[in-house]
Structure 1
Amino acid sequence: MSAENVSVNFSELVNKNKQTLARLQESPRLLLHRRDGEDLVLTTAARAEQDQTVVSAATRMLAAMARREPGSMELLLDVLPDAFPWVRFLPESDLHAFAVELVDTMRAADSIGNNASVAQMLVAWQHTAEVYSDPELLAALTKDHGEDYGLVTDPRGAA
């Protein structure tokens, strides 16, 4: 049994549904390529539940470790560069803020069974690290332009 996902065109699922679905025995997931939309992933309910159980367990363990002792946050800060090499570009205060936000967001996302906010948070922090990695971009984005144009009206109130 292969651990790799099987890729098929979405039309195969439509035209040869029994044969295509039988391929889920070969792979944990089917990657369905669509011509007119985003690709889809098809898996069994049991596999999806297993995946969520694993993510939930890892989240709870990470959160428990981070809350235990003062030294546990230092351990987390030490291992973050192994998991996310781009954190090396973050200033130390931002690295600490990232670690706290990561644990808190993972716990919150796990509580509702939706990890989209974790993925979004990781992408946002990675972009922040990208800015810090480029001195010219950092200077351009942090430069004080000296002018304040005042309050901006809420566009939802404009008719």
Structure 2
Amino acid sequence: MAHENASAVNFSELVNKNKQTLARLKESHRLLLHRRDGEDLVLTTATRAEQDRTVVSAATRMLAALARREPGSTDLLLDILPDAFPWVRFLPEADVHAFAVELVDTMRAADSVGNSASVAQLLIAWQHTAEVHSDPDLLAALTRHHTEDYGPALDPREAV
């Protein structure tokens, strides 16, 4: 994931040169902390984090209100989805509609608990679905009806 306007430093610099590193945070408002033994971290100020949350919440509420407003607003939402998510062009029409409804509903629910992880997961899942539809061979392999039954799956903990 790209972190626009973030200065990048090694995590050790925060520990060893904390004044200089925090001065960089003041300049860029975000620090991307590279860690050798773990996932990179983003350090920001509480004020900036709250501003980001406010913007996302406002955009979510506006999108949800638009989607509920009038019958034509759903058509508008469906029209703009390919601009925001070009991969929806590979989805069947019914799936594009399902994606739009699920996206708005999930964004509203995620906003209500202040955690956008479910929205990110939803976008990844639908994008993977679009990727399957973009590849005719893969789509055929995954949608082929298999008549053979291989029996119940073994518990992986019991496999030797």
TM-score when scaled to structure 1? 0.92
Q: Deviations over 1:99-156 (max 9, x none)?
A: 0000000000000000000000000000000000000000000000113456668x5x
Give the aligned residue type for 1:57. A
Distance (whole Å) between structure 1 residues aligned to residue 138 and residue 32 of structure 2: 38
Distance (whole Å) between structure 2 residues aligned to residue 64 and residue 147 of structure 1: 48
The gaps in structure 2 that reach 5 residues or longer are none
Matches within 5 A, 1:72-87: 72-87=73-88
Q: Comparing 32-41 with 21-30, which one deviates more in the overlay?
A: 21-30
Distance (whole Å) between structure 2 residues aligned to residue 148 and residue 97 of structure 1: 31
Distance (whole Å) between structure 1 residues aligned to residue 98 and residue 153 of structure 2: 29
Q: Report whether the alignment pairs 1:28 with 2:29.
A: yes
Distance (whole Å) between structure 2 residues aligned to residue 128 and residue 148 of structure 1: 25
Identity of aligned residues (%): 81
Aligned twin of 1:135:
136
SS in 2 for 1:38: coil
Distance (whole Å) between structure 2 residues aligned to residue 111 and residue 150 of structure 1: 43
Matches within 5 A, 1:1-159: 4-149=5-150
SS in 2 for 1:26: helix
Deviation for aligned residue 1:28 = 1.9
Give the aligned residue type for 1:135. P
The gaps in structure 1 that reach 5 residues or longer are none
Q: Deviations over 1:57-100 (max 9, x none)?
A: 00000000000111000000000000000000000000000000
Deviation for aligned residue 1:24 = 1.5
> After TM superposition, which residue ranges in structure 1, 4 or more long, deviate above 2 angstroms?
147-153
TM-score when scaled to structure 2? 0.91
Q: Deviations over 1:3-43 (max 9, x none)?
A: 71100110100001111111112112100001111100000
Distance (whole Å) between structure 2 residues aligned to residue 151 and residue 31 of structure 1: 47
